[in-house]
Structure 1
Amino acid sequence: MPDIRGKSVSAIAGTVAGCGVSHPVQITEVAGVKLSTPATVDCPTAQALRLWVAQSAAPVIGRDGGGLVQLDVAASYACRPRNRQAGAKISEHGRGRAIDIAGFRLKDGTVISVLSGWDDRKQGKTLRKLHKAACGPFGTVLGPESDGYHKDHFHFDTAQYRSGSYCR
């Protein structure tokens, strides 16, 4: 079983300066966990997602609800400014280096939603572990406590910072 399922797709030319992906992939599954919709990212981002699912997300969820079967993808490649705010720098989504995850589906049909689960006693504990564990495989990890733009999803990207990962 391959660790990453999907396909290579043609280079994406940016419609705005700073956007575009020279070697994008469209992924549908990582480490045996399906994505709700195909995600277009670059290879390092696909590899970081696979690493996080295999080493953190699947083990954190464990056998709860029969185990993790799907990530609910809120966004992947999109040529747009950060937080969709006019005049802001280009988002890592515009470079194919970001993926947003809104929830986690378990085999029994249970959904652990970032929006409704963050403040729940049981789901909140799980979501906080998932969020914290992403810091390392990803250069930027944002969630409900970072700002109002991320109250309903986790933003993971592979931007590199000299000071290490940025996690909020």
Structure 2
Amino acid sequence: MRKIGCSHLIFCVALAATTANAAAPETSIVPLTRPETTQAMVAVVTPNIRPVLRPASPQVTAAAARPAELPLLGPENSIRPFVRPEALEQRVFLKKRKLRKGSVCGDIDIQGKPVGRVKGKIKACGIKDAVQITSVSGVGLSRPATMDCGTAQALNNWVDKTVKPTFKRRGPVVELQVAAHYACRTRNNRKGARISEHGKGRAIDISGFKMADGEVVTVLNGWRKNPSKKQLTKVWRGACGPFGTVLGPNSDRYHRDHFHLDTARYRSGTYCR
């Protein structure tokens, strides 16, 4: 067959159209319509999920039950602390001022008065800067006790950290029964013995603890009786640390009715017995 050239534009266009119509399919491919039954089936199978109402909170329920005359709290009527009355502020100020005036050793919790230098009858006795203590951490002493500031601070620490918490439920404790404080004498008053720490203002003996209701827990009667024994043992053990020497009824016959507490320090550490 001889190849025919396409020299005329109109003829070539007509020829291309005839060729395209000859190659076209008899029917075109069109996507089928989804059957109606399929949509209905999907509607039946798919559950109708809706949010469930949350039950009312206890706060809302309580608010609804409040009487109409009681307003609900809000930013405009919230509970605020009342301003302290001026008279009460004045009393608090005067009390603190009085405590500062009666404090010694640079601590408002240690009440008493300065005594100054105390000379002893024996050369080894005496206190350079003595103070006379009347109370520590709000707990009074049955009688003023003379000592140095180191011993006063140890006593205050012991009462605050151990004595008061131990007798909190039974008490509160309001007074320490003082059996002995400064005295220029030998240890246990024995002839020829070394000078006691009492003679240096570094010791105090406590024989009992008085509660707010008037009850007195004594070392002599309570050391071997419950519940006093447990409490007395706890305060005796708590003194080991603030004080360098702690002696109680188990140490010897000289201390069966009191705790001996002094601030002497040893190379081996605190001596507690």
> How far does residue 94 in structure 1 lie from its aligned partner after superposition?
0.2
Structure 2 match to 1:140: 245
The answer to whether structure 1 residue 28 and structure 2 residue 148 are counterparts is: no
The answer to whether structure 1 residue 116 and structure 2 residue 221 are counterparts is: yes
Deviating runs (4+, > 6 A) in structure 1? none
> How far does residue 10 in structure 1 lie from its aligned partner after superposition?
2.8
> How far does residue 104 in structure 1 lie from its aligned partner after superposition?
0.1
Match of 1:25, as an amino acid?
Answer: V
Structure 2: segments with no counterpart, 5+ residues: 1-98, 100-107
CA deviation vs aligned residue, 1:52-83 (integer Å, no higher than 9, x gap): 00011001111213x01000000000000000
CA distance, structure 1, for counterparts of residue 117 and residue 169 of structure 2: 39
The answer to whether structure 1 residue 153 and structure 2 residue 253 are counterparts is: no
Q: How many residues align?
A: 167
Which structure is higher in RCO with an 8 Å CA cutoff and minimum separation 6?
Answer: 1
CA distance, structure 2, for counterparts of residue 7 and residue 86 of structure 1: 33
Give me the CA root mean square deviation: 0.7
Higher strand share: 1
What SS does the aligned partner of 1:137 have? coil
CA distance, structure 1, for counterparts of residue 120 and residue 183 of structure 2: 10
Structure 1 match to 2:154: 48
Mean Cα deviation higher: 11-20 or 143-152: 11-20
TM-score by length of 2: 0.60
What SS does the aligned partner of 1:44 have? helix
Identity of aligned residues (%): 58
Higher Cα Rg, which structure: 2
> How far does residue 161 in structure 1 lie from its aligned partner after superposition?
0.6
Structure 2 match to 1:17: 123
Structure 1: segments with no counterpart, 5+ residues: none
Structure 1 match to 2:169: 63
The answer to whether structure 1 residue 95 and structure 2 residue 200 are counterparts is: yes
Higher helix share: 2
CA distance, structure 2, for counterparts of residue 122 and residue 90 of structure 1: 36
Match of 1:159, as an amino acid?
Answer: A
CA distance, structure 2, for counterparts of residue 112 and residue 125 of structure 1: 12
Structure 2 match to 1:3: 109
